[in-house]
A = this chain, B = another copy of it.
Amino acid sequence: MLGNFCYSNPTKLYFGEDSLDQLGGELQNYGKNVLLCYGGGSIKKSGLYDQVVSILKANGKEIFEDPGVMPNPTVEKLYEGCKRAKEGKVDLILAVGGGSVCDYAKAVSVSTYCKEDPWDKYYLRMEDVDNPIIPVGCVLTMVGTGSEMNGGSVITNHEQKLKIGHVFGDNVFPKFSILNPRLTFTLPNYQMIAGFFDIMSHILEQYFSGEDDNTSDYLMEGLLRSLIHSSKIAVQNPTDYEARSNIMWTATWALNTLVAKGKSTDWMVHMIGQSVGAYTDATHGMTLAAVSLPYYRMILPYGLAKFKRYAINVWNVSPDGKTDEEIASEGLDRMEAYMKELGLVMNIRDLGVTEDMLDGIAKGSFIMDGGYKTLTYEEIVSVLKESMKG
């Protein structure tokens, strides 16, 4: 049954090849000082950095540079960004990059005027924001996280071996995001396919929960079918605009709060994957890929009806003459074949996990209770061991 909820998503999206042309107009809504966040050198190489800077200057903005946002933004980097944002008295944080840069920008947005350690308050204790928030805008260069239209923000604390995502409210969502599928063309294959699986995992985390038959489930089946269709094209031809644009749009709707409304969700794959990430610094989407099938095969008996539905509606498994278990398993087998076709990393050993890390990874995996089975510590270890074999 659709539960009670509030839906509000104020992010304005500009989508398409010419969408950067809209940046100037949006900048009019904010003051003079802009914190410009980005990652390594890729946006300088591609020329995007120069384009953005020239738009900022043409609109009379003073730029406070904040480069070097890493793929898994660290708490130390967060402190540094807050310092810069405060010193610059910035009126807008402009994130130019992928989900990590956008996540980081939101973290700086809520943390700059936080009166205590933001890691403790907003990540460890996941409290609500009660201090001034600096507005965020985003120019997206890779897809996957959905960070461009939600309140999610993942920060890593290497010292504590913790990678925690806080999903903030709609006051923290980017005010605007610019989505140009062409900006994603130059992404290396490894990052591209990891992003594809990140999208798939976002949908599955919300799909594999609850016994209901909600509109959301049907929407998610549509998103999954679109993603599977377009990702197969994109992996063969990364510059296929139609495929890349559909994937970009699917990624946004996979995690902009819509499909979770009124239903329960799981997120256990992300909890285990993030813990793997905290130990290995591996690419997020690959950590999800490596643990998904061992996890889903373990919980299949507890969510049999949904795994059967998944097999039929998403993977076109014919149910004729088969038991529910056979249908459900065949769905996961087809998912496995698809994942291998994309070239995803199927086991955590390939991500740098060693036997001695398993205990720590399992202990660092927050246990969620919205899925079909609430895992024990032993079961998490078992999922990890299964993935080591893969």
Interface set of A (CB-CB < 8 Å, partner B): 1-10, 12-19, 22, 181, 212-215, 217-223, 225-226, 229-230, 241-242, 245-246, 249-250, 253, 258, 261-262
Contacts and interface: CB of A to CB of B under 8 A. Distances in A.
A175 to B, nearest CB: 11
Nearest to A13: B7
A226 B259 CA distance: 13
Nearest to A17: B4
5 cross-chain pairs, A with B, having the tightest CB-CB distances, nearest first: A4-B16, A222-B222, A218-B222, A218-B226, A2-B245
B13 A8 contact: yes
A242 B8 contact: no
B242 A1 contact: yes
Contacts of A250: 215
Contact of A215 (B213, B241, B253, B261): B253
B12 A5 contact: no
A223 B212 contact: no
Given A214-B246, A219-B223, A22 B1 contact: no
Nearest to A176: B8
A219 B225 CA distance: 9
B14 A6 contact: yes
30 contacts: A1-B242, A2-B242, A2-B245, A3-B16, A4-B15, A4-B17, A4-B19, A5-B16, A6-B15, A6-B22, A7-B13, A7-B15, A8-B12, A10-B10, A15-B262, A16-B262, A213-B229, A215-B222, A215-B230, A215-B250, A218-B223, A218-B225, A219-B219, A219-B223, A219-B226, A220-B222, A222-B223, A249-B261, A249-B262, A253-B258
Contact of A226 (B22, B215, B225, B249): B215
Choose among A6, A13, A215 the residue with the greatest number of B CB atoms under 10 Å from its CB.
A215
Contacts of A1: 241-242, 245
A15 B262 CA distance: 9
Nearest to A229: B213
B13 A246 contact: no
Contacts of A5: 15-16
A107 B245 CA distance: 36
Contacts of A215: 222-223, 226, 230, 246, 249-250, 253
A8 to B, nearest CB: 4
A68 to B, nearest CB: 31
Contacts of A10: 10
Given A14-B6, A15-B5, A15-B7, A213 B242 contact: yes
Nearest to A2: B245
Contacts of A18: 4
Contacts of A212: 242
A313 to B, nearest CB: 8
A222 B220 CA distance: 8
